[in-house]
Amino acid sequence: MRVLHGLCGLHAAGIEALALQLIRHAPAGIHGELLNADSSEQTMAQPFQLLLDAGQLAAIHQWPRCDGPQLAWRSFQLCRRRQPDALLIYPCNRMMLWLALGARLAGVRRIAVAVQNTAPPAATGRRLWHRLLRWFQRLGVVAVPCTEAIVASLQPLPRGLRLGPVIANGCDTASIASRAAAVRAERPSDDARRILMVARLDPIKDQATLLRAFAGVRLPGWELQLVGDGPDRPRLEALAQELGLNPAQVLLGRRSHIPELLGQADVFAFSTTPAEGFGIALIEALAAGLAVIASDVPACREVLRDGAAGALLPPGDAAEWAGRLSELMVSQEQRQELAERAEAHAEVYDIRLTAMHWYRLLDLATDPA
């Protein structure tokens, strides 16, 4: 059976990471194809190309960005030609309605869209989301949130509007644990201690609070590393400079070997805002067995099991963050205790479970033997 995975640009973001993992871990007998509806964005092109070269992806279709009836027509033509059994759409936005329309007119019966961010808190913004989800529903598209926090942000749902089941994001927990452990075993005894955050540099996240907290503590022998890129980079570079930190040493940009970076770190700090939908990097840190601290916002609270898998701190409160960082930086026992809690909860986010739930939703997966 054939599943078409629809993206709008190959960005270095969470939905592209999810698509990669679902394609890589598809059940036997399911053949994935990738559609990139915006060929101008190719940041993550290489990992998808590697899947194609390895035979884990049957085809990659790239289109110049378009919208409206033109996008629906292209979708219709592609689906008539390739005849996918299902379409999985990753960005949940207005543009993808046209993609879904074309697929539906071409006879694709199973269509789902991933909902990865919380709805805006203001009633006006929430109504716009309701309208978008209602149009997806009219096209027979199942909207699948990745956390209960997203579901809660959409309440109250208008009469007749339904959501699909919550399917948590996942990562390859065994591979990440193994790769991180291999690097950790080779760390010299005099290696610098590191606080790490991996996230796109955009307004949904809150690297600024972490920068301020670290600058307020700044113990000898400790480093802060922010991995990721995005529109907020100039602002964060200026803030780091203002705080007396070296932007070139703190902001590392986009990196591909995340498990190895996790293996070189001692604390994973995830400072974010209530708009956070999930945070795949957060579960990668759990898998790596790191001490994890995160903002006490609905999505992080849910992912960290109400604090059972990691410490939750007030969002945006640099003083509170500085205090907790200071405790962890001087106490290996506290770091070890948090690391053990992380390892104990990591398996529930294994990508094989996530993939099983997604393909069962699309009615394509077989029951395990």
Summarize pLDDT for 43-98 with one digit per residue, the tens. 999 999 999 999 999 999 999 999 999 999 999 999 999 999 999 999 999 999 99
Q: How many domains does the chain have?
A: 2
Give all strands (DSSP E) within the chain, no chain letters: 2-7, 31-36, 59-62, 86-89, 110-115, 141-145, 193-198, 222-227, 251-253, 267-270, 291-295, 311-313
Residue numbers of the domain that contains 151: 2-170+351-361
Let me know whether 128 and 151 are in one domain: yes
Tell me the CATH number at 58: 3.40.50.2000
Look at residue 368 and tell me if it is in a domain. no
Let me know whether 18 and 107 are in one domain: yes
Let me know whether 204 and 141 are in one domain: no
Look at residue 331 and tell me if it is in a domain. yes
Look at residue 148 and tell me if it is in a domain. yes
Phi, psi angle pair for 126, to nearest 5° = -65, -35
The structure's pTM equals: 0.88
Let me know whether 156 and 191 are in one domain: no
Contacts of 360 (CB under 8 A, 6+ apart): none
What does the pLDDT read at residue 367? 40
pLDDT tens figures, 284-336: 999 999 999 999 999 999 999 999 999 999 999 999 999 999 999 999 999 99
Let me know whether 339 and 191 are in one domain: yes
Look at residue 117 and tell me if it is in a domain. yes
Question: CA-to-CA distance for 95 and 76, rounded, in angstroms?
Answer: 15
What does the pLDDT read at residue 366? 42
For 10, 35, 183, 195, the CA distances from 39, given in Å and listed in that order, are 8, 10, 36, 35
Let me know whether 160 and 186 are in one domain: no
What does the pLDDT read at residue 247? 97
> Residue 346's closest CA among 169, 228, 206?
169
What does the pLDDT read at residue 277? 86
Cα torsion angle, 105, 114, 204, 63, sign? negative
What does the pLDDT read at residue 368? 36
Look at residue 325 and tell me if it is in a domain. yes
Q: Tell me which residues of the chain have a pLDDT lower than 70.
A: 364-369
> Residue 16's closest CA among 43, 40, 55?
43
What does the pLDDT read at residue 79? 98
Look at residue 366 and tell me if it is in a domain. no
Let me know whether 155 and 183 are in one domain: no
Let me know whether 194 and 144 are in one domain: no
Residue with tokens 């760390």, as numbered in its chain: 187
Look at residue 239 and tell me if it is in a domain. yes
Let me know whether 62 and 199 are in one domain: no
Let me know whether 200 and 294 are in one domain: yes
Let me know whether 18 and 161 are in one domain: yes
Look at residue 127 and tell me if it is in a domain. yes
What does the pLDDT read at residue 65? 96
Let me know whether 277 and 245 are in one domain: yes
